[in-house]
Amino acid sequence: MTLELDGTDLDLLAVLQADARASNKELAAAVHLAPSTTHARVRRLFATGAIRGAHAEVAPEVLGIGLSALVFVRLDAHAREPIRGFWDRAVALPEVTAAWYVGGDDDIVLHVAVRDTAHLRDLVLDQVPELGNVARVRTELVFDHVRKVPPMYR
């Protein structure tokens, strides 16, 4: 779906990407609009799906998470229903923080957050194969990462 966004909408999105906690008053000042107009625009951006939500980034160690990994899964059946079934079951796992359906040697990439190596081992050896349709699993540890917002193209 393509949404008609003008320069002010794009400016609002840029400000919110930089600071999702910005107040309506701060947003209005940043885009040079009245607070009531700014509020209506932000509501429209949410209502149309241009903004999908906002989140708090919590330090993993506070939650007892000591290890992050990417789990690459090759499926043994490549029809829509088996893939959708695996996908739905995989993203429902509490350890899965992000998932990608990709092309190439693997089909699904899961980003997982676990307590430790034993937790990762149990996830990869026990839980992932039980999701069904799994031909191969490969795991790579994540030592560090940066999360960036997509660029704004005009």
Helix, strand, coil content of the chain in percent (nearest 5): 40, 20, 40
Q: What is the pLDDT of residue 139?
A: 98
Query: Do 86 and 13 share a structural domain?
Result: no
Query: Do 26 and 86 share a structural domain?
Result: no
**Inter-CA distances, 89 with 22, 68, 93, 99, Å:** 36, 20, 7, 11
Query: Do 89 and 23 share a structural domain?
Result: no
Q: How many separate domains does the chain show? A: 2
Is residue 147, in this structure, part of any structural domain at all?
A: no
**Residues 5-42 pLDDT 10s:** 999 999 999 999 889 999 999 999 999 999 999 999 99
What is the mean predicted confidence (pLDDT) over 135-144?
A: 97
53: left (phi over 0), alpha (psi -120 to 50) or beta: left
Query: Do 71 and 129 share a structural domain?
Result: yes
**SS3 of residue 8 by DSSP:** helix
Query: Do 87 and 41 share a structural domain?
Result: no
Q: What is the pLDDT of residue 153?
A: 65
Q: What is the pLDDT of residue 149?
A: 73
Query: Do 72 and 43 share a structural domain?
Result: no
Task: Name the residue range of residue 24's domain.
Answer: 7-47
Query: Do 111 and 137 share a structural domain?
Result: yes
- The pTM of this model reads 0.80
Nearest alpha-carbon partner for 128 in 68, 66, 71: 71
**Residues 62-108 pLDDT 10s:** 999 999 999 999 999 989 999 999 999 999 999 999 999 999 999 99
Residue 154 has pLDDT above 90, yes or no: no
Query: Do 76 and 33 share a structural domain?
Result: no
Enter the tokens of residue 27: 């947003």
Place of tokens 């940066």: 146
Query: Do 88 and 28 share a structural domain?
Result: no
Answer whether 71's CB lies under 8 Å from 34's CB: no
Q: What DSSP letter does each residue of 58-94 carry, written as one string?
A: --GGGGT--EEEEEEEEES--SHHHHHHHHHHHHTST
Place of tokens 């069904």: 132
Q: What is the pLDDT of residue 10?
A: 93
**Domain of 120: which CATH number?**
3.30.70.920
